[in-house]
Amino acid sequence: MLARAAPDIPKDGAWLYEPKWDGFRAIVFREGPNVHIASRNALALERYFPELIEPLKAALPERSIVDGEVVIATEHGLDFDALQQRIHPAASRVRMLAEKTPASVVLFDLLGLDSDDLRERPLTERRTGLMRAIASSPTVGVTPQTTDPNEATTWFTRYEGAGLDGVVAKDPAGTYRPGERRWVKVKHLRTVDCVVGGYRLAKDGKGIGSLLLGLYDADGALHHVGHTSSFDAAERRAILEQLQPLVGGDSFGHGRTPGGPSRWQRSADSAWTSVRPELVCEVSFDHLQSGRFRHASRFLRWRPDKAPHSCDFDQLSPPEEFSLNDILVTRGD
């Protein structure tokens, strides 16, 4: 079951609110000694997270199906980078990472128990069944839940420092509908002033494809943090002309630079042009991961009133940090 995006936490009507976890969504099947962890695209995740098999056996009833999220929690919050590194063909590397950065599972729904298909039961009943059925542990836990929109609003702000994505709102009487977007998700959206350090051309060569954005560190080096491409055809041509006097300037040469070709990107798509870091723009983004925007940011406006060197990482002071166990609930909570 999926969620549709909304700009604000819904408050009218009856809702059950949960934190939105930043990990790999997974359906876990246990049948006696066998545990299968299936991703949204049917990838068998147990191959990449072998350390979860025994804790899931200990936590789940012998015949059960649960919905949840695979996460990696560190002292600085959830680490999505570490999750991505697990999807690796070498079993030896997977084993090494499993020891170095062990994963956990956060559960939020019970879909099957013994011979019963619970998907047609209301969410409140499935939640009660989950709390009764699961033997929670430091590795397998249950997401917190509240009916209070004010508490959900507090979670939305307070738990960002733990790496949570936002809040999900669910109908307490709702049944479980695979593939349907009946839940509501509200994700963090923040803004930041960035320096334009370069650009990539559009495929037709008649304008920019994207602006390459940078932020300065404490030593004055400009680091590439992401890109924005939210322009129409006329704007792409106008911006390309605007950038021409700045072409060839020294921008990302002393810090992190835009990436080259990869298995996701053809060589022609990765070529970029450096410009003098004189233009500043404000963009919105949803998540900063390892000093980069995880997704493309959205261009909001030019900021001619801002000095380029004022665009630093200090704008992104991290919120209060929490550990995973500070957030999860246990049986009896």
- List the chain pLDDT tens, one digit each, 333 residues: 999 989 899 999 999 999 999 899 999 999 999 999 999 888 899 999 999 999 999 999 999 999 999 999 987 788 888 998 999 999 999 999 999 999 999 999 999 999 999 999 999 999 999 999 999 888 999 999 999 999 999 999 888 777 788 999 999 999 999 999 999 999 877 889 999 999 999 988 889 999 999 999 989 999 999 999 989 999 999 999 999 999 987 888 777 888 643 333 444 456 899 999 999 999 988 777 778 888 788 999 999 878 899 899 888 765 566 777 788 886 544
Is 281 in a helix, a strand, or coil? strand
Q: Do 243 and 236 touch, CB atoms closer than 8 A?
A: no
**Count of alpha carbons within 13 angstroms of residue 219, beta-carbon side:** 4
pLDDT of residue 317: 60
**DSSP symbols for 78-133:** E-HHHHHHH--S-HHHHHHHHHHS--EEEEEEEEEETTEE-TTS-HHHHHHHHHHH
Only one residue has tokens 């919905």, namely 67
Return d(Cα 277, Cα 315) in angstroms, integer.
18
Which tokens is 169 given? 């709102």
pLDDT of residue 215: 93
**Count of alpha carbons within 13 angstroms of residue 203, beta-carbon side:** 2
pLDDT of residue 320: 62
- CA distances, 39 to each of 23, 29, 30, 44, 278 (Å): 11, 11, 15, 7, 44
Q: Do 130 and 95 touch, CB atoms closer than 8 A?
A: no
Give the contacts of 93 (CB within 8 A, at least 6 positions apart).
none
pLDDT of residue 103: 96
193 strand-pairing partners: 282
**DSSP symbols for 229-274:** ----HHHHHHHHHHHGGGBT---STTS------BTTB-HHHH--EE
User: Residue 320 burial by CB count (10 A; 0-12/13-18/19+): exposed, middle or buried?
Assistant: exposed
Q: Do 35 and 29 touch, CB atoms closer than 8 A?
A: yes
Identify the structural domains of the chain with CATH numbers, from first to last.
1-20+145-188 (3.30.1490.70), 22-142 (3.30.470.30), 190-316 (2.40.50.140)
Q: Which residues are marked as active site?
A: 20
Closest CA to 80 of 3, 163, 140, 159: 163
Q: Do 281 and 257 touch, CB atoms closer than 8 A?
A: no
Only one residue has tokens 């970029």, namely 272
Give the contacts of 112 (CB within 8 A, at least 6 positions apart).
63, 64, 65, 118, 119
Rounded to a whole number, what is the largest CA-CA distance in the chain? 70
**Count of alpha carbons within 13 angstroms of residue 218, beta-carbon side:** 2
Give the contacts of 111 (CB within 8 A, at least 6 positions apart).
27, 65, 66, 67, 117, 118, 119, 126, 176
Q: Do 175 and 30 touch, CB atoms closer than 8 A?
A: no
